[in-house]
Amino acid sequence: MRAQSTTHHCLDELRTALRRAAYGAGLDPELRSRLVLSVTRLAAPDLAAGRPVSLEFLPSRTAASRDPAAPPAAAEPGAAEPAVVPPQRGDTAPGDASLTVRLSLTGGGTPAGLDQLPLPARPAPPSGAVWSLPRPDPAPRAPGGGEQGGKGGAPDPVALAEEEAAALADRLDRLSREHRRLKDELAETNSGVLALYVQLEERDEQLRQAHGRMLRQLEDALRPPPVRVPGLEMAVRYEPAESHAPTGGDLYDWFALPDGTVHITIVDALGHGLTSTRGALSVTHAVRTLALEGHELRTLVARAARALAGLDEELMASVQVVRIDPRTGRLSLANGSHPPALLVRRDGATRFLEAPGRGVGFPLPGSEAVLRDRLDPGDLLVLYTDGLTESRRDPREGELRLARAARRHRGLPMDRVPGAIAEEMHTVILHPDDTVALAVRRTGELS
């Protein structure tokens, strides 16, 4: 591959460029995901403060000409900033021994905790970090079977993120199997062989720590950040049923469509753990694909059910899909066996939006009708999974408590609204369940 140097001013742009460059360089999905998470953690404070960051990709033949941890050479006055050139397939020479990635920050000082990153790094004076990676595969597999791409043939960042999530899930499966194997070994260990017992305990602890790190990385990959569009504020709170297993069947997805409307999907797949996570991820990905292809909102649940019917016969999931136009506040909602959304008006009046339909894996799946309403400035929409309202014996009591909690907390800063609602609802929990509480508030400010 060729040496590259790019400058970035926002986190999404940095992640997309990094994913594409790492993909083009042949990094495997798991290593790529660790690199993206590490660069994100270091660059986020500078970008949030309005300071740009720089990223360099150096193949071994380029890195050999100077110390990769040394500061980059200053550009000639008036010289143009290097263009962002996605790496081309086959650029990696057979003799390359390594790939060097350098992140330059402008905040000043050496970043702390470089050895604690998902992919540990070395300091790169005056302010930054450098990663020396093993020689990548010169012909990596194209994400999505080689059929998904972005503009100009560049790989789709969504497909790359999903490929990374799949690689992390596969690694997690291997770690889980190894964890179980070690526990079986430990159970069979003779109590008199103390030295072997201590050794296995140490290995078991290492695997538990790795298991926890993988789960956290998988959760970060599966749960997208809020969509930032003028006119809407969005936030979400996710609480797993078990703190040591922060993945489950409650997932959400949100993105802007080409016409400017915002699409939201919320899914609750039957079961717990990785099996339900895979099912929920399949549903959210199917709905996203169909929505971006332009299918009507009313048909999305039925089409997703048909697409997934032959892939997982045991998959059952409730689904709710919502479209909001930030410019007009127009709201459209279709449902498949999911709890009704809650609309809280600016003056505190509440109403549940119930639309008939059946979810994926249910008999005759699909939405029977599309419910239409409007969000006025100051109105709040709350979407959630049943873990929020079914913590009491009477689900109807849960809905009434939810309406009161949402009315009470509707005026908080948006990033605190879902958490405040969930905390009030979970003061008493009769049975643990995964919970998603997602809130959207219309501001009416379009600039």
Q: How does residue 62 score in pLDDT terms, banded at 50, 70 and 90?
A: very low
366 in the same domain as 257: yes
The pLDDT value recorded for residue 73 is 45
Within a domain: 154: no
CA distance 116 to 113: 5
Within a domain: 147: no
CA distance 209 to 202: 11
> Vertex 166, ends 287 and 213: CA angle to 5°?
120
406 in the same domain as 318: yes
400 in the same domain as 286: yes
The pLDDT value recorded for residue 191 is 58
> Which residues are CB-contacts of 195 (< 8 A; sequence separation ≥ 6)?
none
Within a domain: 118: yes
How many other C-beta atoms can be found within 10 angstroms of the C-beta atom of residue 70?
11
> Structural domain of residue 121, as residue ranges?
4-140
239 in the same domain as 203: no
The pLDDT value recorded for residue 279 is 93
3-17, 173-187, 236-250: lowest mean pLDDT where?
236-250
Within a domain: 413: yes
- Domain count along the chain: 3
Within a domain: 429: yes
69 in the same domain as 126: yes
The pLDDT value recorded for residue 181 is 84
Within a domain: 16: yes
59 in the same domain as 178: no
182 in the same domain as 94: no
Contact 103, 128 (CB under 8 A): yes
396 in the same domain as 308: yes
Higher-scoring residue by pLDDT: 50, 62: 50
Report helix, strand or coil for 51.
coil
201 in the same domain as 95: no
pLDDT cut 90: percent of the chain above it: 50
Q: Domain boundary residue among 175, 191, 220?
A: 220
Within a domain: 447: no
Q: Average pLDDT over the chain, rounded to whole? A: 83
> Which residues are CB-contacts of 8 (< 8 A; sequence separation ≥ 6)?
14, 17, 43, 47, 52, 53, 54, 55
Q: Domain boundary residue among 76, 108, 140?
A: 140
Domain containing residue 299: CATH number: 3.60.40.10
Within a domain: 81: yes
Q: Domain boundary residue among 140, 175, 200?
A: 140
172 in the same domain as 91: no
Give the mean pLDDT of 263-282: 90
> Which residues are CB-contacts of 254 (< 8 A; sequence separation ≥ 6)?
224, 226, 227, 234, 262, 263, 264, 265
331 in the same domain as 198: no
438 in the same domain as 312: yes
